[in-house]
Amino acid sequence: MKTPSPIPVNVPVITPEAKRYVMDALETGWISSAGPYMKKFEEAFARMVGVKHAVLTTSGTTALHLALMSMDVGAGDEVIVPDFTMIASVFAVMYTGAKPVFVDIEPDTFNLNPLLLAAKITARTKAIMPVHLFGHSCDMDPILKIAKEKNVAVLEDAAEAHGATYHGRVCGSMGTMSAFSFYGNKIITTGEGGIVCTDDDELAERARSLHDLAHSSKKRFLHEDVGFNYRMTNLQAALGFGQLEHLEEFLEKKRHMTARYREGLQGIRGLHLPVTKDYAGNVFWMYAIRVDETFGMTRDALRTALKDRGIDTREFFLPCHSQPAVAKRFPTKESFPVSERVAQEGFYLPSGLAITDEQIDRVCDAIREIADVA
């Protein structure tokens, strides 16, 4: 019998337009950080989000760092972040010299729990960083209300939420600033890359200056501030611009993937499928599930069994407060029970845009087969 081909956790789709635009950039010589696709991509992405300004960067991490620096976050400040998120969110805070302050998460969306937010605000709080995890928006209204009452900024980490919405508002349009990632596994990709979005003219101007080594407006090679080389290339922007033209098609593919997984996996004891709250336009960046003790085996044992069948998966992030790089600088005796449990139980299934119905069905059949003997 022929061995089935492995199913990777993510394979991107590169559109014909993206390939054509990249070749155009190559053939015209605009391969560095200047060129027509930079402006085209920034303007198109800003329109999609519904903001006035967008500044392309080298990664989602540098986009977060750039936004924080543009808002003058620094030593002595505190930034509130969810305890369960990709470590880049926390590292970006640490780069500024500020202290990350962790909040536990909701057990179903895995996002920052707004009910726990007010207790974390101090006189040093400079910003709140809600992370729209796995494509599901945070519950933004209570977060924005507390931020306004306490006069602190909101930086939306929308790295995984291209096109996601909250009560019809696009994720990345509600905070003081926002940051997206264009890494290879994101819905819109440039290979590596990111973007900062805002409606604030002054913050946009500062971000644009800082991301290009803070050249003075008085004289190009005069530097009155410490800047960063966070410029994306025109080649990457050409790729991203060609991808963005197909965003609605990509989101429809994610919805189709989700419906097929839901149909194939519903009713399995101990398996918790993704939820979508009434307020959320979930884009299901990855199909993230949890396995509790009633399944009959641990999350890690299930992942191993799937790997033996040629199916790739990814475990969830570790709780940020427990990461050695964080804990040795900001030790805490506080517990984050939901974050800790979710991190132990969660993983995501193959979810790339190139996934086929046949592959989804194979994943579902494998999980049911494993569950039957667990």
- pLDDT at residue 293 is higher than 90: yes
Give the C-alpha distances (Å, rounded to integers) separating 277 from 55, 167, 187, 274, 289: 31, 10, 21, 10, 16
- pLDDT at residue 367 is higher than 70: yes
- pLDDT at residue 159 is higher than 70: yes
- pLDDT at residue 13 is higher than 90: yes
Position 2 confidence tier, pLDDT thresholds 50, 70, 90:
low
Neighbours of 50 (CB within 10 A): 13
**99-144: per-residue pLDDT in tens?**
999 999 999 999 999 999 999 999 999 999 999 999 999 999 999 9
Share of the chain above pLDDT 90, in %: 95
Mean per-residue pLDDT for 49-65? 98
- pLDDT at residue 72 is higher than 70: yes
Position 55 confidence tier, pLDDT thresholds 50, 70, 90:
very high
Mean per-residue pLDDT for 226-233? 96
Report pLDDT for 224. 87
Average pLDDT, the chain: 96
In sequence order, what are the residues at sequence separation of 6 or more whose Cβ sits closer than 8 angstroms to the Cβ of residue 249?
Answer: none
Tokens of 8: 């990777």
Do residues 177 and 67 lie in contact, with contact meaning Cβ atoms separated by under 8 Å? yes
Report pLDDT for 98. 98
Report pLDDT for 175. 98
Strand, coil or helix: 162: coil
- pTM as predicted: 0.96
Q: What single letter denotes the amino acid at residue 36?
A: P
In sequence order, what are the residues at sequence separation of 6 or more whose Cβ sits closer than 8 angstroms to the Cβ of residue 102?
Answer: 80, 81, 82, 83, 320, 321, 332, 334, 336
**210-225: per-residue pLDDT in tens?**
999 998 888 888 998 8
Position 265 confidence tier, pLDDT thresholds 50, 70, 90:
very high
Residue from 213, 240, 236 nearest 224 by CA:
213
Strand 346-349's sheet: what is its strand order? Answer: 271-272, 287-291, 346-349, 314-315
Mean per-residue pLDDT for 22-47? 96
Position 308 confidence tier, pLDDT thresholds 50, 70, 90:
very high
Report pLDDT for 4. 81
Q: What is the dihedral of CA 157, 162, 165, 171, to 10 degrees?
A: 30
Compute the radius of gyration of the chain from its Cα atoms.
21
Strand partners, 289: 347
Share of the chain above pLDDT 70, in %: 99
